[in-house]
Amino acid sequence: MNNSTIHRYLIATRYAVSEQMRNHTALILLIVFVPLWYYLFWIVVPDAALPFHFHATNVLLLVNGRDISLLTAGLNAITLIIGFMFFSSTRKNTAFDHRLILSGYPQSVLILAKLTALVVVAAAVSLYTSVVLFAFWRPSSLPLVWLGFFSSALAYGTFGLLLGVLVRGELEGFFLIIMVSLMDTSLQNPFGNPLANKDFLMWFPSYAPTQFVVGGAFGQTPPWLYLLYSLAWPFAFALIGLAIFWWKTRARKVRTLPSGEQAYAPLPGVSSTR
């Protein structure tokens, strides 16, 4: 990229990140909801052993039910908040982005800036959620927990982006994010779902992140292959969402008049003179 393109990219990225920081509702949810959500699970879920199918080694682990519920609570909080943030910003700013592109701003630069902002915000939200988890429970490896949270945040950030360009109504988008997130993360928890060992769960976005988080949190061998698997959903959501964004914001060809023709039509009742 030349200097002009880099400058435009940095400006667009800074705007995209600051747009998320101005979402006060999401920030309040992040600061208040995450620790409250952890606390509710900590006092409600009993401290008892539960079986969990760890696919990385194909063994049935006996894990602490309260601890694994805290992990799924963190995943649930992240998926809801990051999904809301990028659904709201994408839906609100698509028309403005279209005007920027019509004014000459490169489409590719805007798309790259959106992806960069998604990675930055997902990393920050995941880090905060991981640090707050440390106040309730000390997992074996906090960095591995953060990586698992981060991969899930990428999945639902791109899901929010996809809904932002696909769904017309705000209520429909919020409903889809809530329902998909609740079903996805709750079905991964063996405390709320005794059938959490079933193979069909591997098709859910939070399946691979949950497997990776459990491996890192309970001292098992980190299933790095599952971290790679967890990128499949973000890649698919981003590919479809950005393709729709590109189609909606493309600068269509403008028909220009041949040289020498009148550039405007005369008003009714006004004769045209040369």
For the stretch 44-65, pLDDT in tens is 988 888 888 888 788 888 888 8
- Decide if 127 is inside a domain: yes
As for how many domains the chain has, the answer is 1
Indicate the residue type of 181.
Answer: S
- Decide if 257 is inside a domain: no
Give the C-alpha separation, 44 to 46, whole Å: 6
Per-residue model confidence as pLDDT tens digits over 104-124: 888 999 999 999 999 999 999
The predicted model scores a pTM of 0.86
pLDDT of residue 259: 43
Host domain of residue 244: 3-249
Is a pLDDT exceeding 90 seen at residue 262? no
How many helices and strands in the chain, by DSSP H and E? 10, 2
Among 86, 94, 88, 121, CA closest to 110:
94
Check residue 50 and report its DSSP letter.
E
- Decide if 102 is inside a domain: yes
- Decide if 139 is inside a domain: yes
Per-residue model confidence as pLDDT tens digits over 52-102: 888 878 888 888 889 999 999 999 999 999 999 999 999 998 888 888 888
- Decide if 115 is inside a domain: yes
- Decide if 260 is inside a domain: no
Is a pLDDT exceeding 80 seen at residue 195? no
% of the chain surpassing 90 pLDDT: 56
Per-residue model confidence as pLDDT tens digits over 8-24: 999 999 999 998 888 88
Average pLDDT over residues 157-180: 92
Per-residue model confidence as pLDDT tens digits over 25-41: 888 989 999 999 999 99
% of the chain surpassing 70 pLDDT: 88
- Decide if 147 is inside a domain: yes
- Decide if 142 is inside a domain: yes
Give just the sign of the alpha carbon dihedral 81, 188, 158, 213. positive
Asked if 140 contacts 81 with a C-beta cutoff of 8 angstroms, the reply is no
| Cβ contacts of 38 within 8 Å, gap of 6 or more | 70, 73, 74, 132, 133, 135, 136
Among 208, 244, 203, CA closest to 224:
208
Among 225, 189, 224, CA closest to 204:
189
Cα-Cα end-to-end distance for the chain: 48
Check residue 31 and report its DSSP letter.
I
